[in-house]
A and B are shown apart, each in its own frame.
Chain A
Amino acid sequence: MAITTVPGAVRAPGRPAPSPPAGPPRTNLGRKVRDNLTGHAFLIGAVLCFTVFSWYPMVRGVVMSFQRTRRGETTWVGWDNYLRILDDPSFWTAWQNTFYFTGLALVLGFAVPFFVAILLNEFRHARGYLRILVYLPVMLPPASALFLFKFYAYDPSDAGLFNAILNAFGLPTSQWMQSPEMTMPAMVIASTWMNMGSAVLIYLAALQNIPGELYEAAELDGAGIWRRIMHVTIPQTRLILALLAMLQIVATMQLFIEPLILANGAGAEDSATSVAYLIYQHGFFQNDLNGAAALGVIMLVVLAGFSAVYLRLTARQD
């Protein structure tokens, strides 16, 4: 969902390792650094920022999850933080909600952009306009867009935008965020609307790389539109589909701002609480940064496990 760009994970930078200098086979490190002072000076700013704000916090998150800080004193507490987090009555609900959201968002936010891209790719007119339209919501600050949904679209009275539309078609209206059953679908709709633009554009670019001869040949063989999609379009874009599916799952598992703004956090009957929201609750409201760190580690393990299984499965198809 919240994919803004396709990280370069697809293609590892193709630069071959620098060829070793022709001189003596092993020079000492200090000399190498001194010989190439500018090179290392240029690196230092970014490396420092990565060290302090990225690499070190990764280690620190794990360390923190086994410690407890009380009145400035930090002690090792073993698995206490994890046990406390598991005891949180919202823990399993949060995971359930998060998986539900991820699944629903996958159905909507993954399939819809792909078919929208296929459709847009066929048009020879209004291409620029349609592209701008689809991407426009991506540029809105999420808080702005979500207030629009919260106050206008999901207004549970008949004055709300969605209920007015449902009324106009004679369909039953909904309580939206007030109803525990509709909370998740409503959040998925808002989230898909906000985020699908980038996926559509990425698919469009992938579709344009499919050689036209393949469609030509399929058509000559008598394949209809549906079969051409199944046997040409999908196999030709399989890599990018697989990659975006994974990125989307990782992004949607971090569901946070939607419950915070649309559902004031937990939502009706805890129907909106997400794992990320629980991290936020523990860390910044219950004065339990260590518990929050433990939950972060659990989340990391779950996502890493998922990615490993996923990569295994997609690799096997080759």
Chain B
Amino acid sequence: MAPDTGTRTLISQAQLRRGRGRAVYWMLLAVVVVGFTLVFLGPLYWMVTGALKSGQEIAQTPPSLFPQDPQWQNYADAWHHLDLAKLLFNTFYYATGAVLFQLVFDTAAAYALSKLRPVLGNVILGMMLATLMIPAMVLIVPQYVTVIDLPILHINLLDSPFAIWLPLVANAFNIFLLKRFFDSIPEDLMAAALMDGATPLRTLWSIVLPMSRPILGVVSIFAVTAVWKDFLWPKLVMPSPETRTVSVGIYAFAGGTPMNVVIAASVIAAIPTVVIFLVFQRNIMSGLTTGGLKG
């Protein structure tokens, strides 16, 4: 983020510091802080506490603000009936694998495209970027057909984690982000490494990657949250109850499970991404905005 102080915005600082401007500023700030807290945090509060209410209490009018008799049992039921431990483990496993696959293949490809000048490099990059224009929904059917019978190999990837990992490697946005970062590494540095007899792999490992920690962090965080949030693709390629992700698992159980237990499970499913966000919010926000806007 740009430095906050000193930059002039819509309304001048001087106007905000004096008399009426100051009063309006603080009033508006108070309204916005309270309003935003209610709008964005309120529903989450409602979710966490609602899952603690009994079936009777949740149906009562008007609804109670605090659970009168917290039913921790709802969370325990969600954990056991939906086998959340298994579902969370699956999702975590897919997310970790996705990070590894994307880091290895996308970093290598972006490095090659940026520094090693492969044959037809620009054409390949262009074709990769073109996939950003294709809406995911359009590809869902042919992708599914491809995954259940891989061309040439004739392997069925249903219920195999590779059905999640490999398609995620085909992520043009990652390649673009990484390549742009590598482009900004001075050519002199690469030449110096070459002079010292370093192979491209050695240069990547000892010079480029250590410099790229921030961008690798961004790519990893986005990979984890993408897997955690995804719904339709894992629903299609992980059909068996053993291999489901947490979102798909909750959806599958939603029909025959008491409402409060479904919500309790939804709360538990959301905890990992919320924690990731709170820990890495700086990286996430900078990653979001460095994508294509600045320089």
Please report the C-alpha to C-alpha distance between residue A311 and residue B225 in the assembled complex, in whole angstroms.
31
A38 near B50 with CB under 8 A, answer: no
B138 near A300 with CB under 8 A, answer: yes
Separation in Å of the B8 CB from the closest CB of chain A?
3
Which of A4-12, A89-97, A103-111, A179-187 contacts the other chain?
A4-12
Asked if B41 is at the interface (CB within 8 A of a chain A CB), the reply is: yes
Asked if A1 is at the interface (CB within 8 A of a chain B CB), the reply is: no
B273 near A205 with CB under 8 A, answer: no
Please report the C-alpha to C-alpha distance between residue A90 and residue B47 in the assembled complex, in whole angstroms.
34
Knowing A53-B146, A141-B247, A225-B11, the reply to whether A61 touches B138 (Cβ < 8 A) is: yes
B63 near A159 with CB under 8 A, answer: yes
Asked if B192 is at the interface (CB within 8 A of a chain A CB), the reply is: no
Knowing A36-B116, A47-B124, the reply to whether A136 touches B141 (Cβ < 8 A) is: no
Asked if B243 is at the interface (CB within 8 A of a chain A CB), the reply is: no
Asked if B43 is at the interface (CB within 8 A of a chain A CB), the reply is: yes
Asked if B85 is at the interface (CB within 8 A of a chain A CB), the reply is: no
Asked if B19 is at the interface (CB within 8 A of a chain A CB), the reply is: no
Beta-carbon nearest neighbor of A197 in chain B: B40
Residues of A within 8 A of B108 (CB): 42-43, 45-46
A-B contact count (CB 8 A): 354
Asked if A144 is at the interface (CB within 8 A of a chain B CB), the reply is: yes
Separation in Å of the A204 CB from the closest CB of chain B?
8
Residues of A within 8 A of B131 (CB): 50, 54-55, 58
Asked if A32 is at the interface (CB within 8 A of a chain B CB), the reply is: yes
Q: Enumerate 18 A-B pairs (CB-CB under 8 Å) in ascending A order.
A: A4-B226, A32-B119, A50-B170, A54-B167, A54-B170, A55-B131, A57-B145, A119-B32, A122-B11, A136-B40, A136-B274, A140-B270, A143-B231, A148-B263, A159-B60, A208-B2, A225-B11, A228-B10
Instruction: Mark A residues whose CB is within 8 Å of B.
Output: 4-15, 17-18, 29, 32-33, 36, 38-40, 42-43, 45-47, 49-50, 52-58, 60-61, 64, 118-127, 129-137, 139-145, 147-149, 151-153, 157-161, 164, 167-168, 193, 198, 201-202, 204-210, 212-213, 215-216, 219, 225, 228-229, 232-233, 240, 250, 253-254, 256-257, 261, 275-276, 279-280, 283-284, 289, 292-293, 296-297, 299-300, 303-304, 307
